[in-house]
Amino acid sequence: MCGIVGYIGSEKACPILIDGLLKLEYRGYDSAGLSTIENNKIICLKDKGRVKGLQNMKEINTLNSSIGIAHTRWATHGKPCSVNAHPHLDCHKTFSVVHNGIIENYNELKAFLTNAGYTFVSETDTEVIPNLIHYYYTNGDEGDKDRFAKAVRRATLDLKGSYAIAVISSIEPDKIIVARKDSPLIIGTKDNEKFIASDIPAILEHTNNVYILNDGDLAKITNNNVTFYDEKFNTINKKAEIITWDAKSADKNGYDDFMLKEIYEQPTAIRETIGTRLDQNGKCNFDDINISKEYLLGISRIYIVACGTAMHAGLAVKPIFERLVSIPVEVDIASEFRYRNPLIDKSTLIICISQSGETADTIAALKASKAHGCKTIAISNVIGSSITREADFTIYTHAGPEIAVASTKAYTSQITVLTLLAIHFSEVLELEQGEMLQNLKDEILELPSKVSITLENTEQIKNFAKKIYKEKDVFFIGRGTDYTACMEASLKLKEISYIHSDAYQSGELKHGPIALIEDNVTVVGIITDRRLLYKSISNLQEVITRGAKTLIVTNQDISEKTFPNIIRIPKVHPLLSPVLSIIPLQLLAYYVSKEKDLDVDKPRNLAKSVTVE
């Protein structure tokens, strides 16, 4: 939520900042702004709306300096408007700050600063930060070469809540100070240029050599140097990490939208995620995850905790773990789990799934589980992300950067890697499921090509999108794993088309939801489980009788005579079917959104990574 970009080096800062903001717009997009220093004076430009508005401001072209900070906002405190947009300045206009996160005690700090003579113009929590820095700078030692960095450090010690900040000052115009707690921040280095960002795609085209800040870290950045400090302002050493993502992977690459590109990247994402975890000889490799037979025998329950699409991936793999490992699995929404005192202890294994690795609730759930003595595994797509720093073990999906707010390739990659983990656990436990495991392994290796086949069928989906894009409600029904895929399909549709949609277990329809079915209501059914075929068909017939128009996604033998709109997907192991059945419905959501002429990649009110509660 909210994107930060910063630059210090030898080039003009503004074009680099704007370019970085455009790449980070998926983090928030209700206002944007930047600050640079020209002739020892801070120049701050900001505007409500998309980064394009900022980019088109005439003044931008007059700015030549080689230092700057910038921000794209997802409003928390204060409505989206130019005054509330970042950067914020202190009332003496000597410090400028961009901030991600929430300062929980800002009212208290505002009262203290007001008492000390400071004034405020915005409704934001952030504005206390530059003023607090000014306060501590004024009280600092004259002649101290680190007076600016120390003032930032001192100010951050007063902040309660979460923050990633980047600060510049007209008094010391040759450096940027950054700090983080519970909000991501990275520093990229390339010769005498330094790049700051809240997320990797913003700087990928400049460098893949990055330092990832930990909670409590502060850094002083000049064009030649980066010095890191801990909370007590002692210098600390940090090792740079090399990001293996290709710069092109953060571009649209000829597609109209990131979402469509990411849908079509799924065969590759799944193949890369399988990677070396499963070799052609069928050997599963999780040597980096130190989970022993003794440990698994002592486990009474596995909790899978996540938000949004990641939670749906958890629901999809619950039956896989239960079948292969015979340990009960609970899937929980992170924001609920963390506050409901779950019955967990060292006999509970916690698996947290987070594409970004930065979702505040999921990280908090993981921390709470550790405090209860649980072992924790993070499934993430982003190297070095916050969750990977907290978990006992991390398993990466290798889906490449996911930029569209609506998650697609992360979902199918998460299911793939978690299925492999379940197979691995079964092997560690020596559960003698040889044939079933081999079967699943073969099916996993075939997933990329089956996903490719599924992606070929778009005409029918486009046509159906044309039929339903004006609808007010759409229902998705299925049983078992088909129901879990329905939940994800329904989320996709409502996120990007703003059509109300709900998912129901087909068998539950008669217990209430069927009251909503009337002439012309759209019902989408997924049917991939042969055992439940006739029951699922009956449920769909019940809605047709009541006037519904239907779309069926299936790999079963169902005739067009029974149902007019059938999308056929390849046969697949029933446990893995969500990986295929979701594909046409991701496309359906996409094309409905296009029919409505909406911004597919940046749906209203949403953000890609939700770094606040």
Residues taking part in catalysis: 2, 608
φ/ψ of 455, rounded to 5, equals -70, -15
Q: Are 131 and 146 in contact (CB under 8 A)?
A: no
355 is a site residue for ligand G6P (CB under 6 A): yes
Q: Scanning the structure block, which residue is given the tokens 């005192």?
A: 341
Q: Scanning the structure block, which residue is given the tokens 């290796």?
A: 445
Which of residues 199 and 529 has its CB atom nearest to ligand G6P in the complex?
Answer: 199
Q: Scanning the structure block, which residue is given the tokens 């998460």?
A: 414
Instruction: Look at residues 344, 118, 381, 362 and name the one whose alpha carbon lies nearest to residue 245.
Output: 381
Taking CA atoms, 167 is separated from 116, 148, 428, in Å, by 22, 10, 50
DSSP symbols for 125-171: STTHHHHHHHHHHHTS-TT-TTHHHHHHHHHHHT--B-EEEEEEESS
**Candidate residues 200, 291, 368, 405; the one interacting with ligand G6P per rule CB under 6 A:** 405
Q: Could you tell me the smallest distance in angstroms from the CB atom of residue 26 to ligand G6P? A: 9
Which of residues 164 and 176 has its CB atom nearest to ligand G6P in the complex?
Answer: 164
Q: Could you tell me the smallest distance in angstroms from the CB atom of residue 352 to ligand G6P? A: 9
Q: Tell me which residue has its CB nearest to ligand G6P.
A: 308
Question: How many residues would you count in the chain?
Answer: 613
Q: Which helix (H) or strand (E) holds 580?
A: helix 577-595
Which of residues 102 and 152 has its CB atom nearest to ligand G6P in the complex?
Answer: 102
What does the alpha-carbon distance between residue 200 and residue 401 come to, in Å, rounded to a whole number? 8
Taking CA atoms, 299 is separated from 115, 293, 368, 431, 476, in Å, by 56, 10, 18, 15, 35
What does the alpha-carbon distance between residue 288 and residue 426 come to, in Å, rounded to a whole number? 17
Q: Could you tell me the smallest distance in angstroms from the CB atom of residue 604 to ligand G6P? A: 12
By CB under 6 A, which span of 273-281, 401-409, 509-517, 575-583 interacts with ligand G6P? 401-409
What does the alpha-carbon distance between residue 178 and residue 343 come to, in Å, rounded to a whole number? 39
By CB under 6 A, which span of 160-168, 290-298, 348-356, 592-600 interacts with ligand G6P? 348-356
**Candidate residues 354, 388, 539, 586; the one interacting with ligand G6P per rule CB under 6 A:** 354
Tokens representing residue 273 in the block: 């995620």
Determine the angle formed by the axes of helices 577-595 and 434-455, rounding to 10 degrees: 20
User: Please, which of residues 285-314 interact with ligand G6P by CB under 6 A?
Assistant: 307-310
Q: Could you tell me the smallest distance in angstroms from the CB atom of residue 118 to ligand G6P? A: 36
By CB under 6 A, which span of 149-157, 244-252, 354-362, 537-545 interacts with ligand G6P? 354-362
Q: Are 609 and 403 in contact (CB under 8 A)?
A: no
Which of residues 13 and 404 has its CB atom nearest to ligand G6P in the complex?
Answer: 404
Q: Could you tell me the smallest distance in angstroms from the CB atom of residue 4 to ligand G6P? A: 17
Q: Are 612 and 2 in contact (CB under 8 A)?
A: no
Q: Could you tell me the smallest distance in angstroms from the CB atom of residue 542 to ligand G6P? A: 32
Burial of 32-63, coded b for 16+ CB within 10 Å and e otherwise, reads bbbbbbeeeebbbbbbbebbeebbeeeebeeb
Q: Could you tell me the smallest distance in angstroms from the CB atom of residue 361 to ligand G6P? A: 8
Which of residues 30 and 47 has its CB atom nearest to ligand G6P in the complex?
Answer: 30
Which of residues 120 and 498 has its CB atom nearest to ligand G6P in the complex?
Answer: 498
Which of residues 36 and 359 has its CB atom nearest to ligand G6P in the complex?
Answer: 359
Kindly determine how many residues on this chain lie close enough to bind ligand G6P according to the rule CB under 6 A.
16
**Candidate residues 55, 407, 412, 581; the one interacting with ligand G6P per rule CB under 6 A:** 407
By CB under 6 A, which span of 10-18, 317-325, 356-364, 592-600 interacts with ligand G6P? 356-364
User: Please, which of residues 140-179 interact with ligand G6P by CB under 6 A?
Assistant: none
What does the alpha-carbon distance between residue 129 and residue 506 come to, in Å, rounded to a whole number? 53
Q: Which helix (H) or strand (E) holds 500?
A: strand 500-505
Q: Scanning the structure block, which residue is given the tokens 């503004």?
A: 14
How far the first Cα of the chain sits from its last, in Å, is 11
Q: Could you tell me the smallest distance in angstroms from the CB atom of residue 302 to ligand G6P? A: 18
Which of residues 356 and 522 has its CB atom nearest to ligand G6P in the complex?
Answer: 356
Which of residues 3 and 130 has its CB atom nearest to ligand G6P in the complex?
Answer: 3
By CB under 6 A, which span of 95-103, 268-276, 350-358, 466-474 interacts with ligand G6P? 350-358
DSSP secondary structure letter of residue 329: E
User: Please, which of residues 593-612 interact with ligand G6P by CB under 6 A?
Assistant: 606, 608-610
Which of residues 407 and 454 has its CB atom nearest to ligand G6P in the complex?
Answer: 407
362 is a site residue for ligand G6P (CB under 6 A): yes
Residue type, 366: L
What does the alpha-carbon distance between residue 508 and residue 76 come to, in Å, rounded to a whole number? 38
Q: Are 304 and 317 in contact (CB under 8 A)?
A: yes
By CB under 6 A, which span of 125-133, 349-357, 530-538, 593-601 interacts with ligand G6P? 349-357
What does the alpha-carbon distance between residue 326 and residue 324 come to, in Å, rounded to a whole number? 6
For residues 204, 207, 211, 217, the Cα torsion angle rounded to the nearest 10 degrees is -70
By CB under 6 A, which span of 88-96, 131-139, 404-412, 593-601 interacts with ligand G6P? 404-412
Q: Could you tell me the smallest distance in angstroms from the CB atom of residue 590 to ligand G6P? A: 14
**Candidate residues 100, 249, 359, 394; the one interacting with ligand G6P per rule CB under 6 A:** 359
Percentage helix, strand, coil for the chain under 3-state DSSP, each rounded to 5: 40, 20, 40
Which of residues 296 and 606 has its CB atom nearest to ligand G6P in the complex?
Answer: 606
Q: Could you tell me the smallest distance in angstroms from the CB atom of residue 77 to ligand G6P? A: 20
DSSP secondary structure letter of residue 400: -
Q: Could you tell me the smallest distance in angstroms from the CB atom of residue 413 to ligand G6P? A: 11
Q: Could you tell me the smallest distance in angstroms from the CB atom of residue 369 to ligand G6P? A: 16
Q: Which helix (H) or strand (E) holds 566?
A: strand 566-568
By CB under 6 A, which span of 150-158, 208-216, 353-361, 443-451 interacts with ligand G6P? 353-361
What does the alpha-carbon distance between residue 476 and residue 114 come to, in Å, rounded to a whole number? 54
Residues that bind ligand G6P (CB under 6 A): 307-310, 354-356, 359, 362, 405-407, 606, 608-610
